[in-house]
Amino acid sequence: MDAQTSADTRLTYVTTGILLEKLVNSRRMDMYTHVIIDEVHERDKDVDFALLLVKKFLKTNSQRVKVILMSATFDSSSFAKYFTLSSKGDSAPVIEVYGKSKEVTEHYLPELQTLIKRMPEFDICKPMLDPCLYEAVMKLMCVFDKIEKAEQNASHEQEYAPVRGAVLIFLPGYDEIAALSDTLKNPSFNKKYWIIPLHSSITLEEQSKVFKDAPPHHRKVIISTNIAESSITVPDVKYVIDFCLTKNLVTDQYTNYTCLQLEWASKSNCIQRKGRAGRVDIGRVYRMVPRSFYDELPEYGTPEIKRVPLTSTILHVKKLNICEPLEMLAFALEPPNILDIENAIIQLKEALGLLAKGSNPYDGELTFVGQVMANLPLDIKLSKLIIFGFVFHCLEECIIIAASLSLQSFFARPFQKALEAYRSRLAWANDTFSDCLAYLNAYKTWREFMSQSRFRQPGGLSENKWCELNFIQMRRIREVDLLIKEIKSRLANHGIQEHHHHQNIARQSEESKILMLKVVIAGAFFPHYFLQENLDEQEIEREINENDPHSTVVITGLPPDQGLLYAFALKDMMACCGDSMDIEFEGQKAYIKFHRKSDINASSILQSVYLAVKMRLLRIPLGLAVFSHAEAERKIQQIRQSKSSLSENKFPINRYAVKLNPFSKIKRIPLPPPINRYTQIFISHFINCGHFWAQSPTLENTNYLKFLDLSINKRQGQNLMPLTHKPVPEMLCLAPYSDAESGIMPKYYRAQIQKVMGSTVEVFFIDYGNVENVEVEQLREIDENTPDVLTTPAL
């Protein structure tokens, strides 16, 4: 911003946070002739503290400055009384400016009784959204077509009126937006709606659609959070549907944990939403609550200063060095609770921002760390992360993580590609499942491409296209880049910079650097930890039919005992999670068992499982075209007959498995139970002190190894046949191995192909744990006359 201002500047647009910072640093405001603060009804903590300082400076060193407060809906009398400055006690003048909007009529839920199956219950103390109201909205929008046909004198033969007004629907969050969007997209309800979701996590490109005209004969339907209350104005909105709900940041006074909490909107919010209609035509607002309940809603919402942590505000007070925080904040328009001030002081002392000053629980002495925190435009935990990064020689990485976390996420989440976006985010996290490291890896890759001018190379990807393919929002990652530069500049003023010897230490080991980053992150965000509750392993085994919980998901609701008929349909549905799987059926359940590309991380949860669980959380439907009962019975009977002819003497069961991969997977022997205090092992292959392969030196295992050696290597392996199939990953085979120093002829061992590299393959020896490169021509098939080689568990 400073780069755009000069001595000739007469009008400067800034955020409330920038204004507040300038007031704190200058301790006066007479460098301006006028200070105009808009949207004061939103009452965030920066606005309230800025108003406090403005009032104080008006009384002391900036008495000639003209202050103008603006909002479409706010309690002007309380603000006017707050800014009473004269000795006579006269309130500040109030000027009302009336706009030229069209008439907007108000309607309430009881008027829609014919459209809903039952009237939901409403409790002012228990905000909630009854799902039956989604169907009511769907039916209400059909009424809009009738209203418009009557208004525009359209003929009865026309399905729609020539002009279909836009609809703006206010919902509290992403999940509710997704649920209503799914309802309106029901194929049996085809009313030509152009649905546009509006949410802070949705890409800016998708949000920009609200300003475009709908396709011919379509109705634009905008489903939004309160982002559309004041941030975005859509001129062609004719109808507003308001569920009178919102989500606000609220801090628990005892745990200091901040989260979004569902609340009833205030009347001020509802009036602001009503004002979105009637810009170009007469409008209607439908409040999905009874009128009597609406009358009970609070006039205005709780100011942010009374419900969020006050740590940054108290740092501003300490930086001003005028009086104690408790005394200063008592002059706020609505002073915060004393307990909130005490909690904020405790948090700052724990974060080393303040020193204990006697026994005063409402004050402390500002430390060097506190000065750094006060000068950074970040939450104190993010500032602490940066300071720890400096101490532990990973400053650059911590600055990137802190800047990314302080702004809206630069990871894109297209409304219709949420699963693909999640997969991309997992890839950026590089198997750590850490948002912090995902931000770090994505930003460093983008910055490297920018520094090398990769986006300007002929025939290469443009920056915009690269960001789109990698689910990154270009504008937001550029904002992060600017913030990183600003943070570095402010840190330099305190002598905090990345030194050359720090960089040399950081280069020593990428693995150790990631470990150090994890330690630093844990320290910076202490004590915010989540502990996993104890799991009932027996219940999990029953739920997944004794399959591996790290690689198995369960699908329920299939037609009873007909799962086999839908095996390949299920495989197609789950292909977005992983393309290599087996499916086992029992009753109405299907057990999807994803394959590992290697057994090296046998104890880790497969990414395919995470993706499958994410599908459920995103409510991505799994729909099957079900056979008729008669057709299903006929097909099932054919399958049973073919199975019984192959195994007449086997005990009949109702469990069937379908191999969707032509290669078997050898099971492992079970690990020792965790209750064992120690166990004897023989290390067969060592990688590092925390990663090695071992065998159990029991007589049974020793006999297994001897049996495999005799079965495979009789006649020195001359009876083994070369591969008859093209080698592919996950294929089981026999591969040669010998210790080069021993000079002994190589023997063949059970192996699984990991990679195919032309005439060479990388194989994993499943009984020993080592990985080797072998020529394809040296591989041998597992003889079908020795099935025990396949059924013997990996040792």
Mean pLDDT, residues 130-140: 92
Question: For residue range 408-437, what is the model confidence (pLDDT) as tens digits?
Answer: 999 998 887 889 999 999 999 988 889 999
In whole numbers, what is the pLDDT of the chain averaged over residues?
A: 85
CB atoms under 10 Å from CB of 17, counted, come to 14
Domain boundaries, the chain: 108-299, 393-499+509-523, 537-658, 682-781
Q: What is the CATH number of domain 682-781?
A: 2.30.30.140
pLDDT at 247: 92
Of these ranges, 283-287, 698-702, 709-713, the one predicted with the greatest mean pLDDT is 283-287
- In this predicted structure, which of 15-29, 334-348, 474-488, 727-741 has the lowest mean pLDDT? 727-741
CB atoms under 10 Å from CB of 271, counted, come to 16
Q: Which two tokens stand for residue 738?
A: 């010998």
pLDDT at 494: 92
pLDDT at 593: 92
More confident residue, 639 or 756: 756
Give percent above pLDDT 70 in the chain. 89
CB 790 within 8 A of CB 664: yes
Q: Which two tokens stand for residue 424?
A: 């991309």
Q: Which two tokens stand for residue 119?
A: 């009237």
pLDDT above 90: residue 573: no
Question: For residue range 81-90, what is the model confidence (pLDDT) as tens digits?
Answer: 999 877 677 8
CB 760 within 8 A of CB 776: yes
pLDDT at 498: 80
User: Using CA atoms, how far apart are residues 186 and 386, in angstroms rounded to an integer?
Assistant: 49
User: Using CA atoms, how far apart are residues 778 and 186, in angstroms rounded to an integer?
Assistant: 57
DSSP H helices, 109-209, are: 132-151, 174-184, 204-207
User: Using CA atoms, how far apart are residues 299 and 295, in angstroms rounded to an integer?
Assistant: 9
Kindly indicate the confidence band of residue 686, based on its pLDDT and cuts at 50, 70 and 90.
Answer: confident
Mean pLDDT, residues 274-292: 90
pLDDT at 552: 92
Mean pLDDT, residues 436-442: 96
For 761, the enclosing helix (H) or strand (E) is strand 760-765
pLDDT above 50: residue 661: no
Mean pLDDT, residues 141-160: 87
pLDDT above 80: residue 257: no
* Cα end-to-end span (Å), the chain: 65
Which residues contact residue 594 at a Cβ distance below 8 angstroms, ignoring those fewer than 6 apart? 551, 552, 553, 577, 578, 580, 581, 606, 608, 609
At residue 552, the 3 state secondary structure works out as strand
User: Using CA atoms, how far apart are residues 712 and 403, in angstroms rounded to an integer?
Assistant: 59
Pairing of strands 589-594, 552-555: antiparallel
Query: Which CATH architecture fits 108-299?
Result: 3-Layer(aba) Sandwich (3.40)
Mean pLDDT, residues 506-526: 82
